[in-house]
Structure 1
Amino acid sequence: MTAGILIQIARVFAVLSLVSIGGANAVLPEIRRQIVDVQGWMNDGVFANLFAISNAAPGPNIILVSLIGWQLAGLAGLLVATLAIMIPSCSLAFFVGRAVNRWSETRWIALLKEGLIPVTLGLILASGVSMMRTADHDALTLAISLATAIFVVFSRRNPLWAIAAGTCISIAALHFGLMA
């Protein structure tokens, strides 16, 4: 393993860290674009698998970045990717937090807070759409994704029911040869 790949990992994730308002899921489309399209470090299938593992595991959504680092350069890659995605955004949050506390009564701080809410929600919605494009390769998987989204948005039930139903449908489809 060369230091070159570690420097590239650090550069990619440090830049993404500074725009990750709302966490790693908010910049997921750009993470995928950088990792798959720009750098060519992995294909969509591997990326989707790492995304699924990171979301199945307990803990913060930043685990995806750690898994990407691990996939690319082992333990050193994991450490570099994790620190690169965390240090810039944590430092920025610390200093911005101090400024917000200092000037919290001003109108422009209130407007800034209100303006960031729709930006963050839009980024997270774009992440979901991006992952659907990456993971859904046929009509059945697209239908499962859309049904899950509708269930979660319009139901007050636990999302685990949607996960269980989607899993059962996928298993049945595989059994009957409806999915590859």
Structure 2
Amino acid sequence: MRDDNVLIALVAVFVPLSFASIGGGTSILAGIQHQAVDVHHWVTSREFVDMFAISRAAPGPGSLLTTLIGWHIAGWAGALIATLALYVPSSLLCYGVAFVWRRHRGKVWHTALEEGLAPVGVGLMMAGVLVIMQLSGGGVLPWLLALGTMALLLRWPKLHPLPLFFMGGVIAVVVRAAVS
């Protein structure tokens, strides 16, 4: 594929995902994975998981994964185009909706729409989590750690995530060392 075609493909993939990102970048992980790995074969499953980990470790939004994918397939131009294609459309839409949204606060349809979109966002985020868990290939341990973390956060919602990350890492290292 020529460079121009790759850049156009990045726009064609990330603009629609931008509009589907109800709930943030996590909500479109499944779509990003499907397009980048299964449809366009820009990255392998392993590369996708690695890029996901890097995007989560780096400061800034986790959806910087798109920047890494763009960089991987088309260098600086790909990184810029992928990032702009993901952030600009939804930002403009959000700005426009917020402008209208404030005028109708308290109306029945406003409340119904707000409450109806919450489970959509949660469902999209869960799809992203499931994709990452399946691609990681870590076996049962990551699933158990995720379920344990979820249980702790449901019990103590104000618990800071850093101790949970640390505990999960320690448990994973100890279990892997014991199995080896």
Q: Same fold (TM over 0.5)?
A: yes
Tell me which moved more, 154-163 or 19-28: 154-163
Instruction: Structure 2 unaligned segments of length 5 or more: list them.
Output: none
3-state DSSP class of the match of 1:62? helix
Counterpart residue number, 1:159: 161
TM-score normalized by structure 2? 0.88
What amino acid maps onto 1:164 in structure 2?
F
RCO higher in 1 or 2 (8 Å CA, sep ≥ 6)? 2
1:136–1:142 Cα contact (<8 Å) kept = no
3-state DSSP class of the match of 2:99? helix
Summarize the Cα distance change of 1:111–1:142 in structure 2 as closer, same or farther, 3 Å threshold. closer
Instruction: Structure 1 unaligned segments of length 5 or more: list them.
Output: none
1:23–1:61 Cα contact (<8 Å) kept = no
How many aligned residue pairs are there?
178
TM-score normalized by structure 1? 0.88
Counterpart residue number, 1:35: 36
Tell me which moved more, 34-43 or 168-177: 168-177
Counterpart residue number, 2:90: 89
Counterpart residue number, 1:170: 172
Aligned pairs for 1:101-120 (under 5 A) are: 101-120=102-121
What amino acid maps onto 1:157 in structure 2?
L
Percentage identity across paired residues of the two chains: 36
Tell me which moved more, 83-92 or 59-68: 59-68
What amino acid maps onto 2:174 in structure 1?
A
**Deviation for aligned residue 1:165:** 2.1
Cα distance in 1, alignment partners of residues 117 and 4 from structure 2: 37
Q: Which runs of 4+ in 1 moved over 6 A?
A: none
Counterpart residue number, 2:150: 149
3-state DSSP class of the match of 1:59? coil
Cα distance in 1, alignment partners of residues 112 and 141 from structure 2: 43
